């Protein structure tokens, strides 16, 4: 591939993606203009439409306006091997539904997935922006209101509109699709700031595995979710993101360069190689502190151990410390570490901040049910070199990632 094409592809990967779900209402024609207005703001728009929406606007119209193939048939085996909805969901930074009809709101609230829009929705773990549009009487139906209230109980689900006025059917009242510029502004607000444009960010994530023999290893229960959330959030803010991860079951976040490693030594080598040009390091990996002194090439048989069951360990390299020591001078990046503790979170975080020469440490309590490893939410405290610790409420990992980046951006002087 020529360098020019290469760089075009890189910038396409860096564009933030709005997946637009179009429902079957007369306001579907306004969704055409919405696609154009979103693209004018440098957003990539990928469209999914319900069967009912196709009765109002053709997929070809959206294809021409978005410059992307349109997901218009969930059961079309030729489209992306039938997994088009998952591909769309994965690529989304924002899931926008316009018009969100009464029928779509009901299906979304119930978690149904029987058409292109709802199938994307169920897999789209990004903020949702719903733009309801329907007849006044339908809008006022307690069933519709109840469905919307259930959706909005999720902190990641937001609504824009409906606006009031003359509706297509002659009624007057609430039910019109919000004005397109208002929807664009709401979408941009949810996508967040673009304050890491052009900044290289290095994120470590997941556990490492230190082999004992070909079938056994030392490791920990890290799922990698926190590091992946940071990588996604940094990319959404315009960063060039390199994500170094130990073995986890998460798919590559779109637009992020992912390097998969296994051991602490591999992580350290990969991190060193990526240090040049890096302006921000976020070390969320749960690196094994120890590894077996010897790794057996053959599977250890228990009978053969004969009383020599003790495992002799040695320290692994501290990846974050090594990077922090290697980075000197004006180009020294901002360093963010994590401290997962069962007690004295702030004191331990402060100690790590000093010992590793970090700029921020995100402390969180582990060991209680519902937080820390493998949990969806986190209650963290951010400790900096100066000022009081910032105690954060219980947040989703995606939200916590944004808060950590807010602090890092300030330290980067952006």
Angle at the Cα of 300 (from 294 to 303), degrees rounded to 5?
130
- Encoded one letter per residue, x for contact with ligand CTP by CB under 6 A and - for no contact, window 154-193 reads ----------------------------------------
Question: What is the rounded distance in angstroms from the CA atom of residue 381 to the CA atom of residue 164?
Answer: 43
CB of 136 to ligand CTP, least distance (A): 54
Q: End-to-end CA distance of the chain, in Å?
A: 34
Our finding on whether 352 is near ligand CTP (CB under 6 A) is yes
Q: Which of 318, 365, 379, 399 binds ligand CTP (CB under 6 A)?
A: 318
Q: Where are the beta strands (DSSP E) in 133-231?
A: 157-159, 163-166, 172-176, 200-205, 210-213, 216-218
**Sign of the C-alpha dihedral computed for residues 80, 84, 90 and 95 taken in this order:** positive
Q: Does 382 bind ligand CTP (CB under 6 A)?
A: no
- Between 45 and 319, CB nearer to ligand CTP: 319
**φ, ψ at 208 (rounded to 5°):** -115, 165
335 binds ligand CTP (CB under 6 A): no
Interface region with ligand CTP, contact rule CB under 6 A, candidates 76-84, 173-181, 216-224, 318-326: 318-326
State in angstroms the smallest separation of the CB of 109 from ligand CTP: 39
Nearer to ligand CTP, 116 or 207 (CB): 207
Given candidates 48, 105, 320, 404, which one binds ligand CTP under the rule CB under 6 A? 320
- Comparing CB distances to ligand CTP, the nearer of 173 and 247 is 247
Tokens representing 262? 């296994």
The distance from CA 356 to its chain's CA centroid, rounded to whole angstroms, is: 27
What would the x/- binding string for ligand CTP be over residues 236 to 265, using CB under 6 A?
Answer: ----------------------------x-
Tokens of 209: 């595995």
Q: How far is the CB of 192 from ligand CTP (least distance, A)?
A: 24
Question: Which residues partner with 95 through β-bridges?
Answer: 19, 128
Residue 287 contacts ligand CTP per CB under 6 A: yes
Q: In the chain, what's the furthest Cα-to-Cα distance? A: 88
Which residue lies nearer to ligand CTP by CB, 21 or 207? Answer: 207
- Residue among 218 and 287 whose Cβ is closer to ligand CTP: 287
Among 204, 222, 245, 278, binds ligand CTP (CB under 6 A): 204
Environment class of residue 278 by beta-carbon count within 10 Å: exposed (0-12), middle (13-18) or buried (19+)? buried
Cβ atoms of 17 and 187 within 8 Å: the answer is: no
Gap between the Cα atoms of 408 and 246, Å rounded:
24
Q: Which class for 171: exposed (0-12), middle (13-18), buried (19 or more C-beta within 10 A)? A: middle
Q: Other CB atoms closer than 10 Å to residue 190's CB: what's the count?
A: 19
Q: How far is CA 93 from CA 82, 255, 286, 335, 371, in A?
A: 22, 11, 26, 26, 25
Work out which of 131, 151, 285, 375 binds ligand CTP, going by CB under 6 A: 285
Using the minimum distance from each CB to ligand CTP, give the nearer residue, 27 or 362: 362
Given the residues 135, 147, 220, 378, select the one marked as catalytic: 220
Residue 210 is a binding residue for ligand CTP (CB under 6 A): no
Q: What number of chain residues touch ligand CTP (CB under 6 A)?
A: 15
Q: Are strands 216-218 and 210-213 parallel, antiparallel or unpaired?
A: antiparallel
Least distance from C-beta 71 to ligand CTP, angstroms?
38
Tokens 């986890």: give the residue.
248
Catalytic residue flag (residue 220): yes
Closer to ligand CTP by Cβ: residue 94 or 268: 268
Question: If binding is defined by CB under 6 A, does position 338 make contact with ligand CTP?
Answer: yes
- Alpha-helical (H) ranges within 199-344 are 225-236, 264-274, 302-305, 319-326
Q: Which of 316, 371, 378, 402 binds ligand CTP (CB under 6 A)?
A: 316
Give residues in contact with ligand CTP (CB under 6 A). 204, 264, 283, 285, 287, 289, 316, 318-320, 337-340, 352
Enzyme catalytic residues: 220
């Amino acid at each position: 591939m020529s360098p020019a094409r290469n760089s075009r592809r890189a910038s396409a990967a860096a564009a933030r993606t709005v997946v637009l779900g179009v429902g079957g209402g007369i306001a579907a024609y306004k969704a055409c203009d919405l696609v154009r207005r979103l693209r004018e703001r440098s957003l990539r728009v990928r469209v999914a439409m319900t069967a009912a929406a196709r009765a109002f606007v053709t997929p070809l119209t959206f294809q021409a306006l978005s410059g992307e193939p349109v997901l218009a048939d969930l059961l079309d085996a030729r489209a992306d091997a039938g997994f088009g909805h998952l591909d769309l969901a994965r690529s989304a930074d924002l899931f926008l539904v316009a018009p969100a009809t009464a029928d779509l709101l009901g299906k979304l609230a119930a978690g149904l997935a029987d058409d292109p829009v709802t199938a994307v929705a169920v897999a789209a773990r990004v903020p949702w922006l719903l733009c309801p549009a329907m007849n006044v009487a339908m809008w006022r139906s307690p069933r519709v209101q109840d469905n919307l209230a259930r959706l909005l109980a999720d902190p990641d689900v937001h609504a824009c509109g409906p606006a009031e006025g003359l509706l297509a059917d002659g009624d007057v009242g609430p039910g019109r699709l919000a004005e397109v510029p208002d929807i664009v502004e709401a979408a941009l607000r949810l996508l967040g700031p673009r304050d890491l444009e052009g900044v290289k960010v290095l994120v470590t994530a997941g556990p490492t595995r230190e082999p004992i023999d070909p079938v056994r290893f030392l490791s920990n229960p890290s799922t990698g979710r926190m590091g992946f959330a940071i990588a996604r959030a940094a990319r959404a803010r315009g960063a060039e993101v390199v994500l170094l991860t130990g073995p986890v079951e998460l798919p590559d976040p779109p637009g992020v360069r992912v390097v998969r490693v296994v051991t602490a030594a591999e992580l350290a080598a990969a991190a060193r190689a990526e240090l040049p040009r890096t302006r921000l390091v976020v070390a969320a990996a749960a690196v094994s502190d120890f590894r077996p002194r010897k790794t057996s090439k053959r599977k250890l048989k228990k009978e053969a151990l004969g009383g020599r069951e003790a495992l002799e360990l040695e320290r692994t390299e501290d990846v974050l410390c090594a990077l922090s020591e290697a980075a000197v001078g004006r180009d020294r990046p901002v360093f963010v570490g994590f401290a997962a503790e069962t007690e004295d979170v702030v004191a331990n975080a402060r100690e790590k901040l000093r010992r590793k020469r970090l700029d921020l440490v995100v402390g969180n309590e582990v060991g209680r049910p519902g937080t820390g490893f493998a949990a969806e939410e986190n209650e963290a405290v951010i400790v900096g070199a100066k000022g009081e610790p910032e105690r954060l409420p219980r947040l989703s990992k995606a939200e916590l990632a944004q808060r950590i980046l807010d602090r890092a951006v300030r330290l980067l002087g952006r």
